[in-house]
Amino acid sequence: MKWIVAIFFVCSTAYAADENKLTVEHAKKLLPQAAGMTNADLDTLGRDPRPEAVKSKSLTLMLLAYNPVVAEQNPKATKEFSFTGEVPKPSEIIAAIAISKQQGYASFIQPKYITDCTCESKGDKAEGSVSFKCDLYSGRVLYSARRIKDVWTITEFRLPIHEIRIVRGENDVWKQESLPKK
């Protein structure tokens, strides 16, 4: 009987230690909305297409403003983001990113577009990458997350080749920053 209790204690302790880690499956659930923009911001862009019209500079906003000439200037940039074939019409892009509109957001990273996700979690921090692909585009971005009051939150996206990072600030407002050149 003692060995059964000992095995249970060891197994439950190991589970308790792991339950606080951010897993790939949990990250896959957090990434689409974190990368996205609210429906209100998407509607604002419909009326005023300038990125300045939207307060939160999310990953999706950055990719909406993506200039395909960047890929021509730096072919490595296509590893982080590229259109598949011809540059799609804006209405096609909006249709692809707005499939989550009923959940309150639009995102280039939709759950069904995720092709690969990694996550290394240590303590209250985690990092990884997420790859995504649909008929119109594909990409791969790095992300960071933190556990704040026992809730995991995506806090940053990085596109090192593009030298851009998108950081979550106060009130969940995203801002874009330049990464230092290597």
> Considering the domain boundaries, does residue 12 fall inside one?
no
* pLDDT tier at 19, thresholds 50, 70, 90: low
> Considering the domain boundaries, does residue 133 fall inside one?
yes
> Considering the domain boundaries, does residue 1 fall inside one?
no
Exposure on the CB side of residue 117, measured as CA atoms within 13 A: 23
> Considering the domain boundaries, does residue 10 fall inside one?
no
Number of domains comprising the chain? 1
pLDDT at residue 76, as a whole number: 85
For residue 76, what are the domain limits?
22-178
Read off the pTM. 0.85
pLDDT tens per residue, range 123-177: 999 999 999 999 999 999 999 999 988 899 999 999 999 899 999 998 889 999 9
> Considering the domain boundaries, does residue 121 fall inside one?
yes
> Considering the domain boundaries, does residue 2 fall inside one?
no
* pLDDT tier at 51, thresholds 50, 70, 90: confident
39 pLDDT higher than 70: yes
